[in-house]
Amino acid sequence: MPKVVSEDLVRLTRNVKKIQLQEICLSESSCKLGTIRAGKLPTRAMQSIGIQLQADKETQQATVRILFKLVVTYDEPEDADPPISVTAAFVLHDAIAKAFPKKILKQTVRSTATMMAWSYWRDFVHSMTMRMGLPAFPIPLFSVTDLEEYPRTTEE
C-alpha cells in the first residue's frame, strides 16, 4: 500500500467532512487465555485488522465492519495455540453527506472507520486482559500515518 503523505492527509481531512458517524457497536468478540508459562508472560504481539464496506448510493448510507485481532505469543515458535488472543468486531453505520467517487469513498471510509473504532479497540483489549488476570495490555495510540499498514477495504 502506498505511503501516506501530506497530500493524502489533506484529502482525507476534506473528505471526512462528507461522512457522519451515526452508530458504532461491538458486534462480536472473543478472548482466549491459553497456557502461560510459570513466571514468564509472552512477549511478542501481532495485530491484524480487516475491514468490510457496504455502501448504498440510494440511501447514502455506509456500513463498515472492522475486525481487530491481537495474538500474543512467546518468542520461540510453538505448535500449540497462542497463549493470549483477543478479537473484536465493530460495526459502524455512516451517513454520506455528499457523493464522491467510489475509490475515494472506500479509502475515506476505511480510514475514518479505523480512527473511530481504534479507541474502542484499545479499551476492549485493556479491559479483557485485566479480566483474564493479566497485566493490562497497552495498544498504542492511533496515528493517521499508520494507515498504510492496514488491509484494503473489501466490498460485500
Torsion region of 155: left, alpha or beta (phi above 0 gives left; psi -120 to 50 gives alpha):
beta
Say whether pLDDT at 113 is over 60: yes
pLDDT of residue 151: 47
H/E element holding 15? helix 6-16
Q: Of residues 149 and 135, which shows the higher confidence score?
A: 135
Cell of 35: 497456557
> Mind listing the pLDDT tens digit for each residue in 69-96?
999 999 877 667 899 999 999 999 998 8
**What is the value of pTM for the model shown?**
0.82
Where does the pLDDT of residue 143 fall: very low under 50, low under 70, confident under 90, or very high at 90 and above? Answer: confident
Per mean pLDDT, which of 1-5, 83-87, 133-137, 151-155 is the most reliable? 83-87
* Contact present, 55 and 61 (Cβ < 8 Å): yes
For the residues 44-59, what does the mean pLDDT come to? 89
Residues 6+ apart with CB under 8 A from 111: 12, 16, 144, 147
Say whether pLDDT at 1 is over 60: no
For the residues 33-45, what does the mean pLDDT come to? 90
6-155 to CATH, choices 3.40.47.10, 3.20.20.70, 3.10.420.10, 3.30.365.10? 3.10.420.10
Mean of per-residue pLDDT scores for the chain: 83
pLDDT of residue 108: 81
pLDDT of residue 105: 79
